[in-house]
Structure 1
Amino acid sequence: MAMARPLPRTGGVFLDPRGEERSLRVSWHSEADLVVLSLWRDNVCTGTFRLALDEVPDLIALLRSGLDTSYDIARRRRDRAEGSQAG
């Protein structure tokens, strides 16, 4: 089995809640003007996506928008649940 390469100094690992040693690695490669997103399973890279640095703000905006929407939906659900308990 291939050994995983260490992450560059600027990067991170996000574990998949499904387990089975699945993870997403994010590594910044400023020397190449890239961010690399890679999918890992059992310490083996199963796929990569290279995102140009100038596209990162668009990805961040998309993630932020989705997060804001999710919070708004959860807040409305909570408010409805609290309202139905009060009556």
Structure 2
Amino acid sequence: MQPLPRAGGAYLDARGDGRALRVSWHTEAEVVVLSLWRDNVCTGTFQLAVEDVPGLLDVLSQGWRAAYPTAG
């Protein structure tokens, strides 16, 4: 994988096989880029507008709490 910008992270896919999700903040463009990687090749990107980030966080949080009520 290429180096991440300062603010970001990488998450390995549960299926393995060199798959990963990268999250990188691009404050200059007011987006968060979600990119799908396979080994060292970016296979797709999605640019999420910064104002939509709270909604995505809510969906993830609510889904996690519903699926795993005793966690966290």
Choose 1 or 2 for highest CA Rg.
1
TM-score (norm 2): 0.92
Aligned residues: 70
Which secondary structure does the structure 2 equivalent of 1:49 belong to?
Answer: strand
TM-score (norm 1): 0.77
Q: In structure 2, what is the Cα distance between the partners aligned to 1:17 and 1:31? A: 32
| CA-atom RMSD in angstroms | 1.0
More helix by share: 1
Structure with greater strand percent: 2
Unaligned regions of 5+ residues in structure 1, if any? 76-87
Cα deviation for residue 17 of structure 1 reads: 1.7
Could you report, residue by residue, the CA deviation over 1:33-65 in whole angstroms, capped at 9, with x for unpaired residues? 000000000110000000000000000000000
Q: What percent of counterpart residues are identical?
A: 60
The higher-RCO structure (CA 8 Å, 6+ apart) is 2
1:62 to 52, 59, 62: 59
The answer to whether structure 1 residue 27 and structure 2 residue 24 are counterparts is yes
Q: Helix, strand or coil: the match of 1:32? A: coil
Runs of 4+ in 1 over 6 A off after TM superposition: none
Unaligned runs of 5+ in 2: none
